[in-house]
Chain A
Amino acid sequence: MATHKEITNSLLAFQEGYNKNKKLKIMNRDWNRVILIKATDVESEHTLKLEDGELSVKEGAPEDPDLVVTSDSETLADLFYGDITPTEPYMNGTLVLKGSEDDIVRLDFISLMIWGE
């Protein structure tokens, strides 16, 4: 089980990976979204906000998220640290993504562009 702090740190690592990737910022200039990251086994909620290609991370839940990412704390931390890809846990139901199919593909894409081989 990961702690809230570990999830926060994984999201900050994700943000750092994103910010280093100039191409990714260009690719996401059109995608303004508010994403809730929620753990199922510990009290932990975070907000990822993408605006004009920039990604920010905040502790706590947003009011009206476009996309909700829910999983156990360990999977969330592994995912945002890049130790696992989102595809497998998404396909086996460990990771639940609520939002439009296009947004789910886009989030998968961002994660793979940061951590992919």
Chain B
Amino acid sequence: MKRVVSVSLGSSKRDHRVQVELLGEQFEISRLGMDGDFDKALAKLKELDGRVDAIGLGGIDVYVYAGKKKYAFRDGLKLMEAVKKTPVVDGSGLKNTLERETVKYLLKETGLIKKGTRVLMVSAVDRFGMAEAFVEAECDVTFGDLIFAAGIPYPIKTLEELEEIADKLLPEMTKLPFHMLYPTGKKQESRDEEKAKKYAQYYRDAEIIAGDFHFIKRYMPDTLNGQIIITNTTTTSDVELLKEKGATKLVTTTPVYDGRSFGTNVIEGVMVAILGKPWEQINPEDYLGLIKKLSFQPRIIEMAS
């Protein structure tokens, strides 16, 4: 049996373990939350190194993208570099393929995305493939990177502006402690009441809300008005929450095992374990081929009563 473990800076309340068969092989996939404790995450990674088939880094980005430029978070690199033997991934390779394909699938195979659909991407630099796919589909996209990561109520409306701002900010901001820019640990369990009120209009104006679920959840207003949510890492209680708030559909980009859609880092870890190649040698075509072989498709959950 192959073992893939996701070490997450997020809450341990979301820990999960499943066994699945993929392409005739048994996999044990688990997620271990470190409750925002960076040193504990480092120690766990060192402990797992060489003892499992692949490791995913969750609750933190190592690499983010804007246009052709790639930026690396210092904290993310520290975690990645602690692992010497086992392949370690942050999900960014898969986001660029699987999530791009998700938008294309929804455009082609469903009526959920059309030209002019109003989309709020809570953060785009961590899902640049998806951001580009929405723009290619001629959606009316609002990129919320400044709003939700930096608390600046400035909606970015084009990829060009996103790239320009990223180029000014990210070379330096990626050196800050990750928790200053992203909810980790206990922050993942609570809503930021003030900002949820302040930014409610961005949610309500959108027909689709897409991106990182921790951002979506932390700043979600009291009620939604029929939005479609495109994300992953949702649990059954998250699905209930979205239903209560008034979302009409949930589209998860990663496969659901045991009621739970795992993060892209876990699924990328599984793919790396299947491919058996060093991560640096894996290209988007490898992932696309494997996505097809595994018949991975977005899962659409109807919520309207």
Q: Which range contains the number of B residues in contact with the other chain?
A: 10 to 19
A87 CB contacts on chain B under 8 angstroms: 172-173, 175-176
Within B175-220, the residues touching A (CB, 8 Å) are 175-176, 180-181
C-alpha spacing A26/B171, complex, angstroms: 23
Complex Cα distance, B256 from A33, in Å, reads 46
**Interface residue? A105 (CB, 8 A):** yes
Residue A108, interface by CB 8 Å:
yes
Contact with B along A79-117 (1 / 0, CB 8 A): 000000111101100000000011011101100110011
Contact A108 B176 (CB under 8 A): yes
B153 at the interface (CB under 8 A from A): yes
Q: Are A108 and B172 touching (Cβ within 8 A)?
A: yes
Contact indicator per residue, chain A 12-43, by CB within 8 Å of chain B (1) or not (0): 00000000000100111011000000000000
Cα-based distance from A116 to B181 in the complex (angstroms): 18
Set of chain B residues within 8 Å of A28, measured between Cβ atoms: 152
> How far, in whole Å, are A95 and B146 apart by their CA atoms in the complex?
24
Contact partner of B169 (CB less than 8 A), chosen from A26, A30, A86, A116, is A116
Report A6 CB to chain B, min CB distance, Å. Answer: 24
Instruction: Give the residue among A23, A26, A102 with the most B Cβ atoms within 10 A.
Output: A102
Q: In chain B, residues 70-125, which have Cβ atoms closer than 8 Å to a Cβ of chain A?
A: none
**Other-chain contact of B151, A90, A102, A117 (Cβ < 8 Å):** A102
At the interface, is chain A mostly helix, strand, loop or mixed? helix
B293 touches A (CB below 8 Å): no
CB pair A105 B154 closer than 8 Å: no
User: Is there an interface contact between B175 and A91, defined as CB atoms closer than 8 Å?
Assistant: yes
Separation of A104 and B168 alpha carbons in the complex (Å) = 17
Q: Ordered nearest first, which 5 A-B pairs have the shortest CB separation?
A: A116-B168, A27-B154, A87-B172, A87-B175, A85-B172
Q: Please list 19 pairs of residues, one from A and one from B, whose beta carbons are closer than 8 Å in the complex, sorted by A's number.
A: A23-B154, A30-B153, A90-B176, A101-B180, A102-B151, A105-B176, A105-B180, A106-B152, A108-B172, A109-B146, A109-B150, A109-B169, A109-B173, A112-B168, A112-B169, A113-B165, A113-B169, A116-B172, A117-B167
**Footprint of A on B, CB under 8 Å?**
146, 150-154, 165, 167-169, 171-173, 175-176, 180-181
A residues at B contact (CB < 8 Å): 23, 26-28, 30-31, 85-88, 90-91, 101-102, 104-106, 108-109, 112-113, 116-117
